[in-house]
């Protein structure tokens, strides 16, 4: 049995399918799905080619495609190098085709992509960027959510309005609680420091901080997280709670306004 990559993690999804988190740089992960039945691999986001190519050589899988959740450089930076090295296809949002060079498949809401026999449905979840997408598998209880949600956090809103980002996050939050959220960055400790600064006496945040500190001390990623866990400790998903609203001076305001205030506070923290 293969061991997890150094500093990363290996999650067995089925008897023949696993997800490997490959650390890249200070806080990025490349997310590699390996299908032992077909020997095919699918990469979700491509910050750098080296760790991906090394893991493919080690595992003996063939990279069939890179699925880009959005156009930022730390998510598409290895596209050209990986295609040159492996001949893989490049997939990404149709809305971002002008910003992700060389897309072979332009994806829209409701499209389906396959790794072997395992289908993933494409969701359009704008907010962090206008063309952000997720790949969701009900079969595997797995969602590749890019930078839309993190452990105890969410991505900055670079494009669009707060209500758009809030709606995208609420859509993810409505997935079954056991659904694993495979996001792209190891921001958990920093996100919790910020959240604890706002709500130092919150028991869910205190418990999450213990969990994160233990994982990082052991050299393990804190990801994937789950929808259920994020509903407990992610303040951006708890914007309807009176205590969270009060913490950012929005008592009695609609949740979307609380969410916007939380995002603004985090942006300047």
Indicate the DSSP class of residue 180. E
Look at residues 220, 225, 64, 34 and name the one whose alpha carbon lies nearest to residue 142. Answer: 225
Pick the catalytic residue: 61, 71, 118, 128?
Answer: 128
In the set 61, 71, 185, 233, the catalytic residue is 185
The β-bridge partners of 142 are 137, 180
The Cα 28–Cα 51 span in angstroms is 11
Percent of the chain clearing pLDDT 70 (strictly above)? 98
> What pLDDT does residue 107 have?
98
72 given a catalytic annotation? yes
Per residue in 93-102, pLDDT (tens digit) is 999 999 999 9
Would you list the domain boundaries of the chain?
9-267
223 contact partners, CB below 8 Å, separation of at least 6: 9, 21, 29, 151, 181, 182, 183, 186, 188
| Residue in 70, 71, 118, 132 annotated catalytic | 70
Catalytic residue among 35, 96, 111, 147: 147
Q: Catalytic site residue 74?
A: yes
Give the Cα separation of 148 and 132 in Å (integer): 8
Per the annotation, the verdict on 75 as an active-site residue is yes
Give per-residue pLDDT as tens, 180-207. 999 989 999 999 999 999 999 999 999 9
The class that CATH gives domain 9-267 is alpha beta
- Concerning whether 265 is annotated as a catalytic residue, the answer is no
Structure letter (DSSP) for residue 95: G
- Please tell me what DSSP assigns to residue 264: H
pLDDT band at 6; cut points 50, 70, 90:
low
Q: Is the pLDDT of residue 1 over 60?
A: no
Task: Indicate if the pLDDT at residue 242 is higher than 50.
Answer: yes
Q: How would DSSP label each residue in 57-94?
A: HHHT-EEEEEE-SS--HHHHTTHHHHHHHH--EEEEEG
d(CA 68, CA 176): 24
User: Residue 261, Cβ neighbours under 10 Å: how many?
Assistant: 19
32-84 pLDDT, tens digit per residue, is: 999 999 999 999 999 999 999 999 999 999 999 999 999 998 899 999 999 99
- 147 carries an active-site annotation: yes
Which of 72, 118, 132, 233 is an active site residue? 72
Segment 144-166 mean pLDDT: 95
Say which of 75, 118, 132, 233 is annotated catalytic. 75
């Amino acid at each position: 049995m293969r061991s997890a990559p150094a500093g990363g993690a290996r999650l067995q999804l089925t008897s023949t399918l696993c997800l490997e988190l490959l650390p890249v740089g200070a806080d990025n992960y490349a997310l590699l799905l390996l299908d032992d039945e077909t020997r095919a691999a699918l990469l979700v986001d491509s910050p750098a080619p080296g760790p991906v190519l090394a893991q493919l050589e080690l595992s003996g899988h063939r990279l069939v495609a890179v699925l880009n959740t959005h156009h930022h450089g730390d998510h598409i930076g290895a596209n050209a190098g990986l295609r040159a090295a492996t001949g893989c296809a490049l997939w990404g949002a149709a809305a971002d085709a002008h910003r992700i060079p060389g897309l072979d498949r332009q994806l829209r809401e409701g499209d389906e992509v396959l790794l072997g026999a395992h289908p993933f449905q494409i969701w359009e979840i704008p907010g962090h960027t206008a063309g952000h997408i997720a790949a969701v598998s009900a079969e595997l209880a797995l969602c590749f959510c890019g930078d839309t949600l993190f452990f105890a956090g969410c991505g900055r809103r670079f494009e669009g309005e707060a209500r758009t980002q809030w709606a995208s996050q609420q859509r993810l939050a409505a997935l079954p609680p056991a659904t694993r959220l495979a996001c792209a960055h190891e921001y958990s400790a920093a996100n919790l420091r910020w959240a604890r600064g706002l709500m130092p006496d919150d028991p869910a945040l205190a418990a999450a901080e213990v969990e994160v500190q233990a994982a990082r001390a052991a050299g393990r990623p804190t990801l994937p997280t789950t929808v259920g866990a994020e509903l407990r400790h992610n303040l951006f998903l708890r914007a309807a709670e009176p205590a969270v609203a009060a913490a950012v001076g929005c008592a009695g305001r609609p949740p979307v306004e609380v969410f916007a205030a939380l995002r603004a506070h985090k942006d300047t923290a």
